[in-house]
Structure 1
């Protein structure tokens, strides 16, 4: 018989993720941007230090926006960050709503124009 090697377990609490209300808010914005014809794809990365939601105009491009949740920064600048296509931090804060505000304002311009 062979030796069975157990799969290395990840300790609980190490992986950062989105809570249901946070993900609902992000996916609602994503759905409205898709309906406006601006975004076509998304990706999520749930790592040990950050959870990232990336929205793409096309799947083969860089993400237009990344929404990052970094709990280690919650007592400093805030754990939420909106990062643009070039990698610049566009908005940072303690609450998700104000961080998503620049994208929501852009959505209003897309729908009106």
Structure 2
């Protein structure tokens, strides 16, 4: 009888992956909750990849996200590690502070009252 040891898998929470910190998720989910209450957003998805963490926002469950909030730690000392991208991939805002970067999306909540 031959015994084979199982192949080792890379650790899931290792340093090979970028993720949002709990405080960052609190800021993002706070905005998400307000936008859901306003009827603007309906679904979200989180991806943690090697170089980037992405929080995608959907108006409906669809193929393409309405907005993507990205965290790229390699850009921390340059343009800022946080960015908000539109549906077409255009960078709407980039910076070092997550709250100031997300203000570009909060403006969508402000509507003229008639």
What TM-score comes out, normalization by structure 2 length? 0.89
Three-state SS of the structure 2 residue aligned to 1:98 is: helix
> Unaligned regions of 5+ residues in structure 2, if any?
none
Name the counterpart of 1:26: 28
1:13 paired residue among 1, 12, 15: 15
User: What displacement does 1:62 show?
Assistant: 1.4
CA deviation string 1:29-59 (max 9, x = no partner): 1111111111110000001100000000011
Q: Which residue of 2 aligns with 1:93?
A: 95
SS of match in other structure, 1:23? helix
Alignment of 1:5-84 (within 5 A): 5-10=6-11, 12-84=14-86
CA distance in 2, matches of 1:12, 1:26: 23
Alignment root-mean-square deviation, CA: 1.8
Distance in 1, matches of 2:50 and 2:63, equals: 25
* Alpha-carbon distance between aligned partners in 1 of 2:46 and 2:111, rounded to the nearest angstrom: 26
Where is the helix percentage greater, Structure 1 or Structure 2? 1
Q: Distance in 2 between matches of 1:106 and 1:3?
A: 58
TM-score by length of 1: 0.90
3-state SS of paired residue (1:109): coil
